[in-house]
Amino acid sequence: MTKKSPRKQRITRHKRIRARVKGTAKCPRLSVFRSQKHLYAQLVDDMEGKVITAISDLKVKKTLTRVENATSMGKLLAKAAKDKGVSTIVFDRGGYKYHGSVKALAEGAREGGLVF
């Protein structure tokens, strides 16, 4: 029996999460994607298939660490969501473990005023 690659394992976890997590216009899904160098997040209305707002660490002023960048990204995303009239979201971690930059992004969004 062959072992799946880490990328395929993440995709399997993501499919399992997406089967349960759906975003609406009132409660969009906060989708996270993490590459080797960057972090991306977007609020998605799955009923309409539209992105409400998006942010990446390319738009954030670089601070010392990836975790600090993710926290400031979460705060900026929360501010943009508040401007669009969104205050409640569901969190889609994208199959990644809930630690490090993914956790910091979620905590930054909570500090910015979004409710999970």
- 114 CB burial (10 A radius; 0-12, 13-18, 19+): buried
Q: What is the mean pLDDT of the chain?
A: 94
pTM, two decimals, is 0.92
21-26 mean pLDDT: 93
83-105 mean pLDDT: 96
Rounded to whole angstroms, the Cα distance separating 83 from 86 reads 7
Within 10 A of 45 (CB to CB), how many other CB atoms are there? 18
Helix/strand/coil for 27: coil
- Domains belonging to the chain, first-starting first, are 22-111 (3.30.420.100)
Decide if 53 contacts 41 (C-beta within 8 A): no
Using 50, 70 and 90 to split pLDDT, how confident is the model at 1?
A: low
Position 67 pLDDT exceeds 80: yes
Q: How many residues does the chain have?
A: 116
